[in-house]
Chain A
Amino acid sequence: MPALEELEGVYNEAKADEEFHRELDYYFREYGGRPTPLYFAERLSEVCGARIYLKREDLNHTGAHKLNNCLGQVLLARRMGKPRLIAETGAGQHGVATATVGALFGLETVVYMGVEDIRRQALNCFCMQLLGATVQPVESGKGTLKDALNEAIRDWMTNVEHTHYLLGSVCGPHPYPTIVRDFQSIIGKEVRQQCLEKEGRLPDKLVACVGGGSNAIGIFHPFIEEEGVELIGVEAAGRGLHTGEHSAPLNAGSFGVLHGSASYILQDQDGQIRNAHSVAAGLDYPGVGPEHAYLCDTGRARYDSVTDEQALQAFRRLSELEGLIPALESAHAVAWALEMAGQFEAHEIVVINLSGRGDKDAAEVKAFL
């Protein structure tokens, strides 16, 4: 708790400090390669019957949007003088991004990763080690993201004085959902400017996959006041919402407390957390960021879901249509647009957040296709 207050204090100071923003902008631009392009996907547009743009977070250094938050938080860790970083990871994208900033600033880095995810994301696991991080396997539970988060929290409670917990999504205790959202909202800020330049107006729809929900909140946030812009989050329906084997708490969960925030979660009637399932390791989480719960309850954003099967089809389809291999997580957002094909207005501008690249998933997908 005191560590959360310390983090909030340091973050509020940094937010008000121009030097902090200059430094963050510098690393975003020179190290991360921002701004990422807003790419007009011509063939996908033809298939879907709308003007479809892809926000190319897959071109961000480390191949996903995760670096945005890691650069922001590592600068906070430096301000707090903490020499050690810990993180949880599911797909390994957040783990790789954390290991990357750990290497960049010479900080000891430990990444907690479930044993099942280590199996299905072997490439990212190797990359983290190459970057000098220790990958700590987590065997408890089902060996996926939730269990990695549990273990990271336990480490933090034990080593809090010299360790910064670099939480990777908009979940967990306050102030994490706020901090991660703010660092990720660079995505939406760029989309806003780029769309105005290319189309002379704001988009009609923004589409993003939602696990914990950081890439979605990052693209949504700068548009929340723009009522004409429809916000669509896509949860992982896994083997189907009716099977109970999914990662879709907004569609099929209930109100509860997990990892220090109150939101929608997957649980039984005793409040025991149920295991989530998704073919995409980064979506395989039984909770969702509390701000998504709020946007869902108020109706400002709408949350649909697509199955493993639909995501796998989209993974292949986007590769064939645009020469872009999406992360399995991002493939959920693409799948939503493909499912909607023919139901858009022809002039509609739809921006899909291509939150990450799919190299990490190629081996796993090969087994399915």
Chain B
Amino acid sequence: MNSVQQAFAANRATGRGTLIIYITAGDPDLAATVDIVATLAQSAADIVEVGIPYSDPLADGPTIQAASQRALEHGATVQGVFDCVAKIRQRTQIPLVIMTCFNPILQYGPEAFAEEATRVGVDGVLASDLPPSESDQWCAVAAEHGLATVFLVAPTTPDERIGEVVERTTGFVYAVSRPGVTGAQDELPADLAESVARIRQATDLPVAVGFGISTPEQVAAVCRIADGAIVGSAVVNMIASVQDDDSLLEQVGQFVSGLAAATGR
């Protein structure tokens, strides 16, 4: 069992949901990312999704688009993100999943990307715009290097395609809460339990819900129906709005501790 699945299993054993926090690497800069991830680990997050900033993040709403743009303007590169992960690994062993569009993997070279990811201590990769049906080569490379794979499932994804996803997933299934792009929302969709149940029928893999989840109440509600909750834009917003480094880490820590406290079933 890889470390991503282990995180879910450990929480399942103690009756808790798994808290996954997304941040855009390099926002405001890569040195800050190291501190932020260490803080997330101290604040009882279970897994961190480290986003490689991209020029054209199609699945992202305004919050993460802006974060990507800031990170790129501040000089974040793919190699820079890998080097940042290596530094994170000196401070914490929290499972790390890289989230990226496929083109940076393609340009780095899939083989080289997987090798470097493993070398610096990445546990899994989510290529957000790579359709499962086109991903066999990438999945083989990831498997060879022991990287867990994660794919997105939308409420509109038909059952046969859910089958294609779970066949290729070795980490967790990322259930997108609603059609659309990332970004905080006031309410969870009414049909969320149904969407998760549909995925559960196809697999025993852990299912985590993301997109639009930003409060402890929403985390608690998600953890009652799924194995984990993914919070992204809310944390990215906080990083964008707090300028002073020390109080940023304190605020992020408090916020994430609050989310983590809501994962009990």
CB of A257 within 8 A of CB of B106, answer yes
**Chain B residues, Cβ within 8 Å of A16:** none
Nearest residue, chain A, Cβ from B59: A157
**Chain B residues, Cβ within 8 Å of A272:** 54-55, 72, 104
| Contact of A140 (CB < 8 Å), options: B65, B78, B102, B107 | B65
Interface of B is mostly: loop
Confirm or deny: A363 has a beta carbon within 8 angstroms of a beta carbon on chain B: no
Interchain CA distance A157-B156 in the complex, whole Å: 10
Confirm or deny: A146 has a beta carbon within 8 angstroms of a beta carbon on chain B: yes
CB of A2 within 8 A of CB of B158, answer yes
CB of B156 within 8 A of CB of A271, answer no
CB of B156 within 8 A of CB of A3, answer yes
Give 1 or 0 for each of A92-132: 1 = CB within 8 Å of chain B CB: 00000000000000000000000000000000000000000
| Contact of B181 (CB < 8 Å), options: A157, A259, A269 | A157
| Contact of B179 (CB < 8 Å), options: A140, A153, A158 | A158
CB of B107 within 8 A of CB of A269, answer yes
Number of A-B contacts (CB under 8 A): 73
Interface of A is mostly: mixed
CB of B56 within 8 A of CB of A271, answer no
CB of A146 within 8 A of CB of B56, answer yes
CB of A158 within 8 A of CB of B107, answer no
Confirm or deny: A161 has a beta carbon within 8 angstroms of a beta carbon on chain B: yes
**Chain A residues, Cβ within 8 Å of B59:** 154, 157
Interchain CA distance A271-B100 in the complex, whole Å: 11
Interchain CA distance A272-B102 in the complex, whole Å: 11
Q: How large is the interface on B (under 10, 10 to 19, 20 to 34, 35 or more residues)?
A: 20 to 34
CB of A270 within 8 A of CB of B131, answer no
Expressed in whole angstroms, the minimum distance between the Cβ of A84 and any Cβ of chain B is 14
Interchain CA distance A259-B55 in the complex, whole Å: 12
CB of B58 within 8 A of CB of A154, answer yes
Confirm or deny: A150 has a beta carbon within 8 angstroms of a beta carbon on chain B: yes
Known A1-B131, A146-B56, A258-B56: A271·B107 in contact at CB below 8 Å: yes
Confirm or deny: A260 has a beta carbon within 8 angstroms of a beta carbon on chain B: yes
Give 1 or 0 for each of B98-115: 1 = CB within 8 Å of chain A CB: 000111111110000000
Where the two chains meet, the residues of A that have a C-beta atom closer than 8 Å to any C-beta of B are 1-3, 140-141, 146, 150, 153-154, 157-161, 255-260, 267, 269-273
What are some 16 contacts across the A-B interface (CB < 8 A)?
A1-B157, A1-B161, A2-B161, A3-B156, A154-B59, A154-B180, A154-B181, A158-B179, A161-B156, A256-B103, A256-B106, A259-B58, A267-B103, A267-B107, A271-B106, A273-B103
